[in-house]
Amino acid sequence: MTTRIRLRRMGSNKRPFYRVVVADQRSPRDGRFIEIIGRYHPLNDPSVIEIDENRALHWLMVGAQPSNQVRNLMTKVGIWERFAAQRPSGAAAIAPKPDRPVRPRLSKKAQAKAAESAEASEHPAGALAPEPESSARPQEAEGSSPDVEPARTDTEVPARAASTDPDEVPPTDTTGSDVQETPEG
């Protein structure tokens, strides 16, 4: 239950006076209250501000939040400064708690894409993945020169397939080697 220290309007039309009350935050302005801790008569000359200091400090220490007008009245009377000196952790007692930072959750597709991009950043796009020397390359002879080009790998694209001319159609295999025969049965 959140409690507020606020003003409750009393009096007739155009002749208001207020009671300083401790009330549940959900109750209406002039509705139910827990305790009356003071009064405020703004039309008297000079205006009357009476607040029970012990009860006000008690409710502030318990965690009741004063309205802006009640805070101004408490500052004029001197209660707010006493409360600021007595509260345990300074401004932290009244300041609202900050929200937890929200960590975005990635879907499985997004996680896979992030993993691929991380792998791609480890290996530059033009470089091939490092291969173990024993299985990928045959043993070089001692007399061979280092200027000899390495053998073509499967990742290279033939020159005729890399053509970008839209009128040129690459030759197709018409021998039917890709068709599989099924046994009759």
Task: Evaluate whether residue 161 is within a structural domain.
Answer: no
Task: Evaluate whether residue 47 is within a structural domain.
Answer: yes
Task: Evaluate whether residue 150 is within a structural domain.
Answer: no
Q: Supply the range of the domain harboring residue 18.
A: 3-86
CA distances from 124 to 28, 106, 116, 183 (A): 67, 25, 12, 49
Q: What share of the chain is helix, strand, coil (3-state, %, to 5)?
A: 30, 20, 55
| Predicted structure pTM score | 0.46
Task: Evaluate whether residue 65 is within a structural domain.
Answer: yes
- For the chain, how many structural domains are there in total? 1
Task: Evaluate whether residue 153 is within a structural domain.
Answer: no
Task: Evaluate whether residue 29 is within a structural domain.
Answer: yes
Q: What is the per-residue pLDDT across 58-115, written as a single tens digit (0 to 9) for each?
A: 998 888 899 999 999 999 999 888 888 887 664 444 555 566 776 677 788 888 888 8
Question: Confidence class of residue 15 from pLDDT cuts 50, 70 and 90?
Answer: very high
CATH number at residue 66: 3.30.1320.10
pLDDT of the residue at 114: 85
CA distances from 84 to 14, 68, 79, 88 (A): 35, 16, 9, 9
Provide Rg for the chain, Cα atoms.
42
Question: Confidence class of residue 38 from pLDDT cuts 50, 70 and 90?
Answer: very high
> Which of 42-56, 85-99, 118-132, 156-170 shows the highest mean pLDDT?
42-56
Task: Evaluate whether residue 116 is within a structural domain.
Answer: no
Task: Evaluate whether residue 145 is within a structural domain.
Answer: no
